[in-house]
Structure 1
């Protein structure tokens, strides 16, 4: 057989192997796995010589399934083993030096172990089992928990049940690539075909052997049926005889009970009649005695009641007198209080009038003050104008005199005299005009003085009137206060008088009621004296009648007791005889039942053995080898998905991180140059060239860049890969990943960062070199003339506080710094939100597919050894189990799906699911349509949405299904449904037969457990039916969900690493921005500290700009994070998993909280720096 496999094309090596499955025990204790059930491990043979050579460094290409020895040594004899590393981590009892016992349970494997005790000598990992999902087994719950390796000599025979096949070029092909899948699947199909030829020669012998066994078993059943029938017939005759005996005794007992019943009933009726008369008479007697005693006690208390009545009457009369006095006082105080209230109302009315008039006068006086001030200003202005006009008149007169002197001067020429005469004429005209203007202004000044004098007089008059009213108001208020004090006294006296009156009235009324009751009682006692005498005579008569009835009742009781006793003796004897008869009958009946059960059990066992032999004979022709490609082994698929996810995330996150880091570096380098303005000015004043100054800053930038590049390269190529691999090693057992230097990525990052830092530094230095040394050595001027948008909204701007106005103007003039801070924070916020969104999206997959409200609603899937029919006994057993709600047959066939011929460039592996009818789909699978409808008519199929999108198939199109043998079939798509893991094509058995030309092979049974059944009971249900020979495996929904979670659980840890990195980057960006803000405004901060603002107010003043940047950045980042999350989901999407597209509300909340905390933390060092600013030194720095 092995030679036939070796001859298959592209097969280079075939290695023999043996294994058995068993329960692991340490000493007498069974090891319990994490699900609370027995630990099931696989014991496999190990080629120790090749393993040792491999560990010594020898590269033997013929050594497959190479173990990695983590601790200890390899086994050297049959009683030693090496164990799984993960099991040694999870279970403290599994360690080197312990002895592990292997229990086979009910295994029917022909391969067995020579010994079941193995000493643990080493701990290993195997490339066969890379995840915690170790595969399936026939034992327990059907899930393999661990594995161990032993010497081949530990097995009882050399028979093998496993072959390891190596295909050509497998070392050069990615194990998770489509090419590897195609090659390995092709070889697997060839192996299956080879198995048909290999086992064909053995089928004839097996059929002959099992046919003889079936004939022998039928003969045994026939003989047993005959002998058992005779035994049952004899036992049934004995039962019939004892049944007649029991019936006879029962008849005797019934006749005896009937004859005794009449005599007992007669005596009982007489006794009950006499007892009833006695009870009636006794009740009447007791009532009369009680009434007699009560009336006697009441009559005896008459004299005492009369005395109490007289005393109370005297007290009542005295209280009436006191009540009249208190009522008079109460009315008097009430009248006085009413008068005082009227007096207070008068005072309050006058006070209100005075206050109104004073308010009016105050308003008038204020207006007069305003008018006086205005007139005084006008008077002053007009006086200045008059003075100025006087100056003008005087000047003109002086000029006229000068012109007259020229005219009178004999030395003047005629032309001079003529010009002087003309000028004198012009000046005389000007003087006349100026004199008129002066008179006009003097008149205006006099009018203003008159009006001002009148206003002052009016003000004085109103002030006097206000003073008089104020005096009257004060008097009224004094009177009001006195009246209120008197009112308070009167109110207190009134309240006391009212309370005393009410209290006395209440006591008086109570005494009146008591007197009335006493009077009524005394009248009733007088009437009761007569009835008491009559009642005493009645009681004496009733005593005599009761004595006579007691004698009659006693005699009747004696007669009834004698009749009952005689009857009871006879009945007890008859009942005893009946009990003996029944006991003997039950013994015989029990013997019959036991015999029948034994016979039925024996028959069932024999029939079961016969059916098992018949089933085995029937299924012999279906025996095949199972060929599983390596990439389809348990855990490999989930590991491949995990690698794809990490690869996808590595293409998006670094871009955003790099962008944010470059922004921070740009700000730092530019700010470093700006802080050295004075030094640049000094260098320029000393005569240094611009090139020398630029070179000095370039050296610093290059050194900082080199250190950052070195640290970043080490972190990116060594530390982070190691951390991520360590995270995945918690779930997967894979070789340690060595350091890989990706030159293209590293040098691209180095080049881009170098260009950005150098360019930023160069332009920053060049910008400063434009100024002269004197300007550079002085502090940089702050631009204050920029108007911001808020100033154009007066309604908002005028209501802002001083601090907010200053911040708004600071933000307006520092737009570049605010923009850079906003962009940095937005990038970090987007990173955090999208990372948390990834957790939301990946965590929802397994629940959406396997939860109670998910796609698959069934709880268990059983794998059958051979195809089953609707009347299969195993299906009936599962349905009849009390934990099962329902169960049905299920067909699952693998195929490769493509679109029509014109669009067949994309392929997807699919599972073709078939059930008996469309109703069963809705019961076990939640088919939620996204397009079309659930039309399961003949030839129609329903497909899942991810596959439809990838292949470009829509409703009404045809889907091509290519089988492993290359045969292609076509079905029409009538609907597209939602799905989250793998790809499915759903169709009814009718459509399946029309598409594939054969009936579905129902090799699976899916089970829907009852709603109250818990997960533990579901696992027990799965393991219970694994004991059936026809069942080869079972999986619960929780296990299937766990297998999906394994592939995405590690994403959480990796994403959290990105979240922490984003938080650190956000902290750096915020701190850098705050530090730049502080250094640029040191003198401004010193100024406001001098003004008198507290340290807390100064800190708030400084960090408000950061708060604004944080708010803007957080809002923009949340929006950007939503789009980045969608991009990431698109990148990490794999062929067979659909991730959720929504972000949970708590992710938004956590993101905002984290950004807020980072903002608060970045403000702490700023507070320290603000507190350390020396006001005097800072303000004198400009000198």
Structure 2
């Protein structure tokens, strides 16, 4: 391609950048979606396999209801292609925190799987060591590994879902299932970390024998937390499995072959222990019989005692009058005895008081004689105590005064030091201020000199440049071939002189620059000196302020100390005077006391007698008071005890009608326990009879919980990659074709000119190909970037909300990238060639003339009688324009149709998925109940809690049912399995009030041995009415039931059967631990929640879920699909916007002159706008209609 064509190509790009960018964006969208969607599934698949291989995930999991022995483990190791076997222990149990139950998302008690692990090998793995013998390694996310018994690490997802589960808390395990012969040594575990295990990659953690049969979470503990050395779980690794894709048929076949070989070998292993097992289970049956007999006797005794208690209670209520009479008679007797005691004590007290008064009178007459001595002695003692205290105070004041004077002298010295320092700082600051002022003057002078030198340098520099310019001019004259010889000689002479002048001027310039640099250096030195002085002055100023503040504080403190010294001196003088006065008074007291010396022996004896009588009077007064209290209490208790007896009788009467219900409830509890014991006995007998057929349960990796759903998710992503990218590429090609046709039409004259100049058709076509390929190159760059870095990450991130698989990073799958680039290359080349070939075939004369408009061609609408004449001028113009631009209008309509179909199908998918929760839980949906309660233990239909719920004014109806989880398949050999909920009910007609059985096939045949299943399950498993459905429980036992009918359902899979069918199929009675409640019509959502919370307070109720909460849980799961689909909707909208912009841009560019003409005629801007966009509206409407039809079908 010539330079001229290249310039024209670049000019075409710059003249209409948006059109060029439209091609780039269209190519980027098409390529990004093709690469991104096609790469997402392989990328997730690759990351999942890498994750499994890095953590050395087992290929087959083997469990047994009987603990494994070393011989069993060695037998499995010896199977061909088995490379490694790891043994571990596990047990399932309910989790609590302290006394509070942990409730899962369905409102039931949280069920955990407690598994043992090798802490030493796990520690090495976390440090980066790779031990091939260590299987099922988990990743530590937070905290640390357990280091001793009683510690555990928990599932990271559980820590996120349940805020109560956090590091440092203690989990209690209750009601652990020890049916496999494994028991816990410790039931309390402190959480020390959170982990993610490759065994559990989805939120569905698997099955269990406890509760509803669904496992909620898991924890890992050290082996010493299990009692004994029994193991009930074996992780098996097969040869070369790390090189196979987990989700491939080859891996599935190999893993199932190993699983089948292990299962077949279990017969020999179990048969070798058959005699021992039979003896063991025979003994268990005998022990269970003994337990049942013991429980029956204790129950009979308990019921008899309850009957006797009820009989005694009724006799108590029936003898009401006699009981009240006896209480009143007893109280009257007590009151009379208390009154007699009180009268006797009052008489003794009166006699003693008369004797006491006579003795007191005699004592007072004798004591008056020596009263003066006692008073004087008391005054002396008081004054002497005061005198001693004053002496101590006087010594203290003297010491304090000396201390104050010493402190005051020190403070004066401190003030003198501060004043000296301040004076020194002020002198230094004054000196620095003067020096700074001198430096300011010097800097000002140097600045003026600097300006002068700068001006001189600039002037000299200008002179040098002028000389250089003149030299350049003379050089041009010398080199110019048009110059004469004389002009050249003159120029050479002139240049020589200018060179000399330049040398002189350059020297002068260098000299002036040296002067400038010297001045600059002096100025910088002066400024640096000034900055140093100012910094020193600032530091001194700060220090001066601090010293002045310290001086002010010291002066204030000195003034306070002076006042304190003065006060202490005054206090000392006052205390000294008081001390001297008291010394003189004490000397007088001693002289007077020596004169009073009389005896007091008779007075002392009389005083002692008075004191004894006074003590007796006090004792009698207390006894009289007690007697009065006793009498008062006897009188008061008489009425109180009567009132209490009357109240107790009233309460007893109110309970009179309920004691029989208490007996019924106790009998029901005993019957439930007896039924459970009989079921256990029946299960033991069934196990004993099936020992010969007992086998190990083997689960290949592709049957692990979450593996099947992850495989389906990968297939769903793969299916999306076949439709959406094709639509994007088709739309992109149509839009590129429209743009290139318009480009060719606009440059039709240029094509004619190039042909006239002799350019070949290939060169001219190459110009347009270069234009398209440049846009294509930009598009594939950004498209590849988005398709490898953004889209796979976004899609996989959405799915990883459900699966615990590492997210993908940059995904470069060469086959998809290069294939997408090839498709887009062919598309852009084809669109360009289609647009350009038609034009370059014409000769230059035709191309350089405007394109002829086909006149005298009748429009198809003109052939319809009466229509053409009635059309407005604007509609006639639009019809002719559409007819004239059929290709572009059709292309635009195709693009809009593709985008509309894509948007409609995406929105339809959103609508169908978001409507699932309503279809399942709304008033006219499948589940018509409002609340589901979960009970702690199985109950009968006459259970007390069920009666209380039915008696609540908010309840319309309620019923009891059973629910357990199982795996369903078409037959035992089928690889397709579904997790289902097996629902057992007593009355099918009553159950229809809570579940809307929308029959699809067959009939609602709930006869014995028959079950009704849901439609999606029947479709996935390929089961029809009349066929058998296989149900495998958590312990590996598989049973069958006949399908009597198929009903509609939207979420999860269900198998409905009666209690009799359940007992016949599974061999045990159903565990009726669930109650569903239908509220009355006027009860709102808040009342329903209140009803649920009210009964959650009952001990027997462990969980409750409202229909709205379950619907919200479904909506959360569906929101992930919504995010993926919305990404397609937004991308389709962007593509439609580009297509519509392209069509409108081409339309407007073609009709520029026409728009000018109609504006000259006088049409307003609004009318012109409507006139112009009619074609685009018709094209868009045409394409939208086709797209809506395509999107529906």
Task: Place the TM-score, normalised by the shorter chain, in its bin.
Answer: 0.5 to 0.7
Q: Residues 649 and 577 from structure 1, CA distance in 2 versus in 1: closer, same or farther, beyond 3 angstroms? A: same
Deviations 1:414-440 (A, max 9, x none): xxxxxxxxxxxxxxxxxxxxxxxxxxx
Alignment partner of 1:657 is 2:728: yes
Distance 2:931 2:264 in 1: 32
Partner Cα separation in structure 2 for residue 29 and residue 87 of structure 1:
17
The partner residue of 1:15 within 82, 87, 109 is: 87
Offset at residue 835 of structure 1 (A)? 0.1
| Distance verdict in 2 for CA 1:613–1:953, change over 3 Å | closer
Residue 769 of structure 1 is matched in structure 2 by 840
Q: Is the 8 A contact 1:191 1:627 kept in 2?
A: no
Asked if 1:243 corresponds to 2:321, the answer is yes
**TM-aligned CA deviation for residue 912 of structure 1:** 8.2
- The worse-fitting range, judged by mean Cα deviation, of 599-608 and 214-223 is 599-608
> For residues 15 and 632 of structure 1, what CA distance do their matches in structure 2 show?
20
Contact 1:642/1:1047, CA 8 A, preserved across alignment:
no
Once the 2 structures are TM-superposed, how far is the Cα of residue 905 of structure 1 from its aligned partner? 13
2:894 match? 823
2:460 aligned partner: none
1:1063 corresponds to: 1133
Match of 1:927 in 2: 997
Contact 1:891 1:915 in 2 (8 A): no
1:1009 to 1077, 1094, 1109: 1077
Give the corresponding residue for 1:111: 184
* Cα shift at 1:873: 3.9
Would you say 1:808 and 2:868 are equivalent positions?
Answer: no
* Distance apart, 1:209 and its partner CA: 5.2
1:885 aligned counterpart, secondary structure: strand
Look up the SS of the partner of 1:848 in the other structure. helix
**Candidates 947, 953, 958, aligned match of 1:885:** 958
User: Paired residue for 1:648, among 719, 743, 748?
Assistant: 719
1:676-730 per-residue CA deviation (whole Å, 9 max, x = no partner) reads 3333233223222222222333333333333333433333333211110111223
Q: Return closer, same or farther for 1:145/1:760 CA change in 2, 3 Å cut-off.
A: same
Cα offsets for 1:717-757 (capped at 9, x unmatched): 33211110111223332122365555554444333332232
Alignment of structure 1 residues 336-485 onto 2, 5 Å: none
What does residue range 951-1030 of structure 1 map to in structure 2 within 5 Å? 958-961=1026-1029, 977-980=1047-1050, 1002=1070, 1007-1012=1075-1080, 1016=1089
Matched, 1:678 2:749: yes
Residue 760 (1) aligns with residue 831 (2): yes
Q: How does 1:545-944 map to 2 (within 5 A)?
A: 584=645, 619-621=683-685, 635-636=706-707, 638-737=709-808, 741-783=812-854, 785-793=856-864, 795-857=866-928, 873=940, 876=943, 879-882=946-949, 885-888=958-961, 896-897=969-970, 919=989, 922-923=992-993, 925-931=995-1001, 933-934=1003-1004
Q: CA deviation at 1:660?
A: 1.0
Is contact 1:17-1:44 (8 Å) kept? yes
Q: Aligned match of 1:130 in 201, 217, 224?
A: 201
Shift of the 204–943 alpha-carbon distance from structure 1 to 2, 3 Å rule, reads closer
Cα distance change on mapping 1:237 and 1:1106 into 2, 3 Å: closer
Give the aligned CA root-mean-square deviation in angstroms. 5.7
Distance 1:1026 1:811, change over 3 A: farther
Once structures 1 and 2 are overlaid, which stretch shifts more, 182-191 or 1095-1104?
Answer: 182-191
Q: Deviations over 1:1009-1030 (max 9, x none)?
A: 13258665787799889969xx
Q: Distance in 1 between matches of 2:891 and 2:1145?
A: 13
Greater Cα shift, 1041-1050 or 593-602 = 593-602
Of residues 92, 96, 101, the one that matches 2:170 is 101
Instruction: Using the TM superposition, give the Cα deviation of residue 1075 of structure 1 relative to its aligned residue in structure 2, in angstroms.
Output: 1.8
- CA spacing shift, 1:1004–1:895, aligned 2, 3 Å: farther
Q: 1:1144-1155 residue pairs with structure 2 within 5 A?
A: none
Higher Cα radius of gyration = 1
Question: Which stretches in structure 2 are left out of the alignment for 5+ residues?
Answer: 1-66, 329-636, 688-693, 951-956
Structure 1 Cα separation of the partners of residues 257 and 923 of structure 2:
38
Change (3 A) 1:1019 1:672: farther
Structure 1 unaligned regions, length at least 5: 251-575, 1124-1183
Residues matched between the structures, number: 777
The corresponding residue for 1:383 is none
Cα distance change on mapping 1:228 and 1:1052 into 2, 3 Å: closer
Normalising by structure 2, we get a TM-score of 0.54
**TM superposition shift of 1:809:** 1.6
1:776-830 Cα offsets, whole Å, 9 max, x none, are 3455444455443333446444444433332222112111111111111111011
Q: Distance in 1 between matches of 2:794 and 2:778?
A: 22
Offset at residue 840 of structure 1 (A): 1.7
Write the deviation string for residues 1016-1060 of structure 1: whole angstroms up to 9, x where unpaired: 5787799889969xx9x9998778767766764421111001001
Corresponding position of 2:1123: 1053
Instruction: Provide the C-alpha distance between the structure 2 equivalents of 1:1017 and 1:714, rounded to a whole number of angstroms.
Output: 54
Are the equivalent residues in 2 in contact too, given 1:249–1:578 (CA < 8 A)? no
Pairs within 5 Å for 1:1150-1169: none
Partners of 1:239 and 1:579 in 2: CA distance? 19
- Map of 2:419 onto structure 1: none
Q: Give yes or no for the alignment of 1:1099 onto 2:1165.
A: no
Give the match's secondary structure for 2:1079: coil
Question: What's the counterpart of residue 571 of structure 1?
Answer: none
- For 1:685 and 1:234, the matched residues in 2 are separated by 127
Please give the secondary structure, in 2, of the residue aligned with 1:839.
helix
Quick check: 1:642–1:1048 contact (8 Å CA) kept in 2? no
Equivalent position SS for 1:1010: strand
Q: Is the 8 A contact 1:669 1:760 kept in 2?
A: yes
* Post-superposition CA distance 1:644-692 (Å, at most 9, x none): 3323222221221221112112222333333333332332232222222
- Range with greater deviation from structure 2 (820-829 or 702-711): 702-711
Shift of 1:1113: 1.4
1:591-640 per-residue CA deviation (whole Å, 9 max, x = no partner) reads: 99999989979999999888876665565556799877666665555544
Q: How has the CA–CA distance of structure 1 residues 51 and 1090 changed in structure 2, closer, same or farther, with 3 Å as cutoff?
A: farther
Q: Does 1:2 align with 2:74?
A: no
Counterparts in 2 of 1:184 and 1:1076: CA distance versus 1, 3 Å: farther
Q: 1:245 to 1:60 in 2, by over 3 A?
A: closer
Conservation of the 8 A alpha-carbon contact between 2:1030 and 2:1040: yes
Select which of 194, 197, 203 maps to 2:281: 203
Q: Residues 1002 and 175 (structure 1 numbering): CA distance in 2 closer, same or farther, change over 3 Å?
A: farther
Larger deviation, residues 30-39 vs 918-927: 30-39
- Given the superposition, is the C-alpha separation of residues 905 and 241 from structure 1 closer, same or farther in structure 2, using an over 3 Å criterion? closer
- Identify the match of residue 1150 of structure 2 among 1061, 1066, 1080: 1080
Q: CA deviation at 1:217?
A: 5.8
CA distance in structure 2 between the partners assigned to 1:865 and 1:577 by the alignment: 48
Instruction: Write out per-residue CA displacement over residues 55-90 of structure 1, whole angstroms, 9 at most, x where no aligned residue.
Output: 444444443333234456655566876554445656
Which has the higher relative contact order, 1 or 2, with Cα contacts under 8 A spaced 6 or more apart? 2
CA distance in 2: counterparts of 1:846 and 1:185, whole angstroms: 39
Contact 1:192 1:626 in 2 (8 A): no
143-152 vs 175-184, which deviates more? 175-184
Instruction: After superposition, give the CA deviation of every residue in 1:430-468 in whole Å (9 maximum; x if it has no partner).
Output: xxxxxxxxxxxxxxxxxxxxxxxxxxxxxxxxxxxxxxx
